[in-house]
Amino acid sequence: MLAISQRRGDAEGLSRASALLQVIVTRPRREHPWDRSGIVCAMSALLILFVCLALGILCRRYANLPDGIVPGINWWVLNIALPALVLALVPHVTIDPHLWFPVAGMWITFFGSWALFATLGRVFHWTPQRIGCLTLVCGLGNTSFMGYPMMEALHGKEGLSVAVIADQLGCFPLLAAGGIIVASMYSGKGASGAMIAKRVLTFPPFLCLVVGVIVGVLGGWPAAVDKLLMQIGQTLTPLALFSVGLQFKLHLQRDQVGALVAGLSWKLVLAPLIALGVGLAAGVSGLILTVGVLQVAMAPMISAAILADQHGLEPRLANTVLGAGILLSLATIPLGNLFLPA
């Protein structure tokens, strides 16, 4: 009898322990504040930017790199990874009346830059080459190579989709058309309408943007194709930032300090504030407003610096603005994001 009672007691004890364990296991886990805000995920993704950029800088300085590595990486990014990402993301973009804003922000930045530096050039007697250099480098942002990964890190795939629209409908057409016009004007070369149209219509990401819009209207890609495009597109972030690191230059000259400060003040501070004011006045809000402003505030475009170099528009100043802008924007973009609504 004693043994039977003992066994019953053990069984009851096990039953109570099991019930208590079940309560503990099934009790909802209290959500950590960082989980709600996604800060951990964003910081982890942003770390990729710093690591890939640092690797590029270190390899440029210490590694024995093969000839043509930068053009090779850039060719893959521009002709394979970026078009694949555009094809994967654009069909998922939800059409919103306020999607005009990220595109308009790019136009405000470019033409505002042109007007500002043409005016400052007359006041401070700058050379035409300096005016053209600052207009290009500070009027066009690195909205793809840096903008895509940073927007994905801060706002996920939804933010990245808006960033693609700002880049493909805003920044790239301005580079292909407005950029070549500015470069030609301030270097003494002409820019024919046929050449501009050819550059726009033969650029693979722009063609994929048109295809992506059509596919989106028709219902999107099959799941397997969508996954394949996204996997190829995901190579853009590490390769693009590594390429930026390989091209990173920071040569400060005393006679360029004023132009450097003016250029970066416009690109990183004044232009974003103007875009924010325009968006708020027009009733734009949420993720569209935030991503639009952050894309305006993005670092100068690498391709714009290359264009300035090719046309003799103070290449040293172009590289200085590019290098300093990349470095500063890695801090100013996350900081600015804290004060924006989404």
Would the pLDDT of 21 be above 60?
no
In a domain, 39, yes or no: yes
CATH number at residue 269: 1.20.1530
Task: Average the pLDDT over 186-191 and give the result.
Answer: 70
Rounded distance, CA 88 to CA 74, Å? Answer: 20
In a domain, 22, yes or no: no
What confidence tier does 309 reach under pLDDT thresholds 50, 70, 90?
confident
| Matching residue, tokens 């609504």 | 341
Would the pLDDT of 19 be above 60?
no
Would the pLDDT of 297 be above 70?
yes
In a domain, 9, yes or no: no
Total domains in the fold of the chain:
1
Residues 120-164 pLDDT 10s: 999 999 999 999 999 999 999 989 878 888 898 888 888 888 998
In a domain, 146, yes or no: yes
pLDDT of residue 33: 38
In a domain, 79, yes or no: yes
In a domain, 324, yes or no: yes
In a domain, 5, yes or no: no
Task: Find the domain containing 184 and state its range.
Answer: 32-243+250-337
pLDDT of residue 91: 87
Query: What letter represents residue 3's amino acid?
Result: A
Task: Average the pLDDT over 218-222 and give the result.
Answer: 92
In a domain, 16, yes or no: no
| Highest-scoring range by mean pLDDT, 164-168, 194-198, 227-231 | 227-231
Q: Which residue has the higher pLDDT, 209 or 268?
A: 268
3-state helix/strand/coil string of the chain: CHHHHHHHHHHHHHHHHHHHHHHHHHCCCCCCHHHHHCHHHHHHHHHHHHHHHHHHHHHHHHCCCCCCHHHHHHHHHHHHHHHHHHHHHHHHCCCCHHHHHHHHHHHHHHHHHHHHHHHHHHHHCCCHHHHHHHHHHHHCECCCCCHHHHHHHHHHHHHHHHHHHHHHHHHHHHHHHHHHHHHHHHHCCCCCHHHHHHHHHCCHHHHHHHHHHHHHHHCCCCHHHHHHHHHHHCCHHHHHHHHHHHCCCCCCCHHHHHHHHHHHHHHHHHHHHHHHHHHHHCCCCHHHHHHHHHHHCCCECHHHHHHHHHCCCCHHHHHHHHHHHHHHHHHHHHHHHCCCCC
pLDDT of residue 96: 66
pLDDT of residue 291: 95
